[in-house]
Amino acid sequence: MERVLSVAQPPSVSRVKPFHFTSQRVLFYPCISISMDHRHFNSSLRLRPHQSNSIHAAATVPVSGESVEHTLKIKEWEAGMLREEIAVSQGITIRRRPPTEPPSNYEGPFEFQIQNGPAAPCNVLEEIIWFKDVEVSQFKEKVSLDALKQAVGNAPPTKDFPGALRAAYQRTGFPGLIAEVKKASPSRGILRKDFNPVEIAKAYERGGAACLSVLTDEKFFQGSFENLEAIRNAGVQCPLLCKEFVVDAWQIYYARLKGADAVLLIAGVLTDQDIKYMLKICKELGLAALVEVHDEREMDRMLEIEGIELIGINNRDLGTFAVDISNTRKLLNERRIDLLNRRDIIVVAESGLFTPTDISFVQEAGVKAVLVGESLVKQTDPAEGIANLFGKDISISA
């Protein structure tokens, strides 16, 4: 007889409502549904949404003879295992955290399941994501989510990020520019030694940028949330994208508090349910979300999700860091362009854009915005660099 049980996606423990099923306690909360025909999972998992269109998941947590602490460890470990199963089913290859052994004396649905992949990160993006998982946990110990929510309630209104891109496209006839404030990258090292984020931001705005992207990752890109806050407080009028590797809702609230008008969500890292949940939070906070894709499967996944306003096509393979701007054209076939236009989604081309020819190439492919960092931030005068990138002066004063 088939049983549908529940496995964890990480809400607070206080929200978990136990439901007794024979000798086991079953913990229910939003995620995905898994069918089980015995106490342990089969080698092939069947995932399905409930008829209500809300998604739930199930995992059993044995409690007989277990301490509360050990029970919570089991719950958290099973939640991680299920999260990886869901990600794999959606074609996501980036693992959210390093593989770990089950808690001692573990008996449960994942008892005989072997974790896939090496103990070390498979590529730079996976290394970043693993670090973020630890970093965010440390941040949350210092500033609780409840404290952030209270502080955000007093934050000033956000600026219209998509609206600024549309206005720039109509004004110039070129894709709206998101100019990136970036000091370094894992693949290129230091891009600008005399790095003054506020002065660079002002130069971008003077040169005609519609919006700005600010790197906030410190370890890999030498950015910071302090840079984001400093630019916001310096009187820069361009809407600001917080360029962070988001793995937790806490980061979205923190970005809003520091002055962001938009955040980045990476489809190659986040499951469909993660994206939907974070889009909901963004809407509540007045933030735009730039949802980044790298391949056709990610693009098609995101086109199935309602509420997306901005899709970024990254021409850089975040596994190898190889760049190919033809990736933009590859992902924008006739069917997808028709769907994007009907839903009024702005497509942003990202990475590998250095010349007016590059801009023309992605514009002809169908994009209405571009995100450019390296080719601008390395210029002595970033405002002049914008004119060189587009082949003409696109500043408001032009």
What's the pLDDT at 11? 36
Highest mean pLDDT among 58-67, 119-128, 190-199: 190-199
351 in catalytic set: yes
pTM: 0.81
Residue from 33, 213, 227, 314 carrying the catalytic annotation: 314
- The answer to whether the beta carbons of residues 290 and 312 sit under 8 Å apart is yes
Residue from 75, 182, 202, 368 carrying the catalytic annotation: 182
What's the pLDDT at 152? 95
350 in catalytic set: yes
284 in catalytic set: no
- Per-residue model confidence as pLDDT tens digits over 297-351: 999 999 999 999 999 999 998 777 789 999 999 999 999 999 999 999 999 999 9
The C-alpha atoms of residue 255 and residue 214 are separated, in whole angstroms, by: 11
- Per-residue model confidence as pLDDT tens digits over 373-382: 999 999 999 9
Handedness of CA 154, 264, 93, 45 (dihedral sign): positive
Instruction: Tell me the average pLDDT across 176-189.
Output: 94
Confidence category of residue 119, pLDDT binned at 50, 70, 90: confident
What's the pLDDT at 15? 35
Residue from 292, 298, 309, 374 carrying the catalytic annotation: 292
Q: Which of 73-87, 212-226, 316-330 has the lowest mean pLDDT?
A: 73-87
314 in catalytic set: yes
Residue from 84, 85, 180, 309 carrying the catalytic annotation: 180
**Is residue 121 classed as helix, strand or coil in its secondary structure?**
coil
Instruction: Tell me the average pLDDT across 219-223.
Output: 96
The residue ranking higher by pLDDT, 317 or 160, is: 160
Is pLDDT of 140 > 80? yes
The C-alpha atoms of residue 84 and residue 132 are separated, in whole angstroms, by: 16
Confidence category of residue 122, pLDDT binned at 50, 70, 90: confident
- The answer to whether the beta carbons of residues 100 and 110 sit under 8 Å apart is no
Q: What region, left, alpha or beta, does residue 298 occupy, with left being phi > 0 and alpha being psi -120 to 50 degrees?
A: alpha
What's the pLDDT at 127? 94
DSSP secondary structure code for residue 14 in this structure: G
Is pLDDT of 235 > 70? yes
Residue from 183, 243, 258, 368 carrying the catalytic annotation: 243
Q: Which of 106-110, 353-357, 371-375 has the lowest mean pLDDT?
A: 106-110
CA angle 242/244/248 to nearest 5° reads: 110
Is pLDDT of 177 > 60? yes
- Indicate the average pLDDT of the chain: 84
What is the separation of C-alpha 350 from the centre of its chain, rounded to a whole number of angstroms?
Answer: 15
* β-pairing verdict for 3-5 and 346-350: unpaired
Confidence category of residue 102, pLDDT binned at 50, 70, 90: confident
Is pLDDT of 149 > 70? yes
pLDDT above 90 covers a percentage of the chain that reads 67
Residue from 351, 368, 374, 375 carrying the catalytic annotation: 351
Q: Which of 32-41, 147-156, 238-247 has the lowest mean pLDDT?
A: 32-41
Is pLDDT of 58 > 50? no
* β-pairing verdict for 369-372 and 288-293: unpaired
* β-pairing verdict for 17-21 and 33-36: unpaired
180 in catalytic set: yes
Residue from 135, 244, 350, 374 carrying the catalytic annotation: 350
Is pLDDT of 81 > 60? yes
